[in-house]
Amino acid sequence: MWTRSALSLMAGLGLASATLAADDLANLTADARDVTGQLLRQISGELKREYQLSGSLRSVVVCKYTAPEVSSALSRKNGVVVKRVSLRVRNPSLGSPDPWEQKVLEAFDRRRAAGESGEQIEFGEIVQEPVGRYYRYMKAIPMAEFCVACHGTREAISPATLAQIASEYPHDQAIGYAVGELRGAVTYKKPL
Ligand code: HEC
């Protein structure tokens, strides 16, 4: 008799924890979408404002200080790491992907090549790393028309802006992109 009730208790617990896990995952994904959305809106808001005021030349310097500041403020506030990464970076110290991010970025490029819209591409999962468990999430960042002034082909960027980029970022790899191509992704990592 006790065996049957123990079994049904176990089945009940199993079901409860499976449901909980699905709920948890949905919540984690919702939080990740929220925080990564804030990062992109804040950076592009600052950049567009500065661009309209002073054009691409000075905006390069503003972006150089604003983007890392926005990333670290949002990361601290939410107890996560949130920032932008790319397979071809401008800022190698902030934007270089780790192995998980590199795999996801490559998968994003394949998904886009297969016809998926860059605006829709995202991926999240729970990852076990040597130091702990994390929820990790990434969302693709497609090139818009506005981005070409600083990430387009050499011909599309003004000579003064090119010179400014070269002096601020001597190892820049982040030019030569066409509108619609993926410039990179925003990445989010939350300890569980
Ligand atoms: C005024 C020039 C300028 C414009 C316009 C611009 N960017 Fe950037 N972008 C930069 C600079 C400078 C950095 C490096 C910021 C840093 O030091 O963290 C950068 C970095 C990035 C990064 C982080 C990865 C890396 O390479 O370091 C991404 C992703 C990115 N830009 C995407 C975009 C997209 C998408 C647009 C259009 C919506 C855009 N940028 C428009 C100047 C610009």
Q: Residue 90: CB within 6 Å of ligand 1?
A: yes
Q: Are the C-beta atoms of residues 121 and 139 closer than 8 Å to each other?
A: yes
pLDDT tens digits along 147-180 = 999 999 999 999 999 999 999 999 999 999 999 9
Domains held by the chain: number: 1
Query: Ligand 1 test: best mutation among 42, 150, 165, 186, most atoms within 8 Å of CB?
Result: 150
Is 22 part of a structural domain of the chain?
yes
Ligand 1 lined by 100 (C-beta under 6 Å): no
Q: How far apart are the C-alpha atoms of 94 and 86, rounded to whole Å?
A: 10
Quick one: average pLDDT of 12-39? 79
Beta carbons within 8 Å of 40's beta carbon, 6+ residues apart? 141, 186
Task: Name the pTM for this structure.
Answer: 0.89
pLDDT at 34 > cutoff 60: yes
């089945």: which residue's tokens? 11
Summarize the chain as % helix, strand, coil (round to 5).
60, 20, 20
More confident residue, 72 or 16: 72
Share of residues in the chain with pLDDT > 70 (%): 90
Any idea what the CATH number is for the domain that residue 175 is in?
3.30.450
Position 78 pLDDT exceeds 70: yes
Ligand 1 center to residue 57 CA distance, Å?
13
- Classify residue 47: in a domain, yes or no: yes
Owning domain of residue 100:
18-191
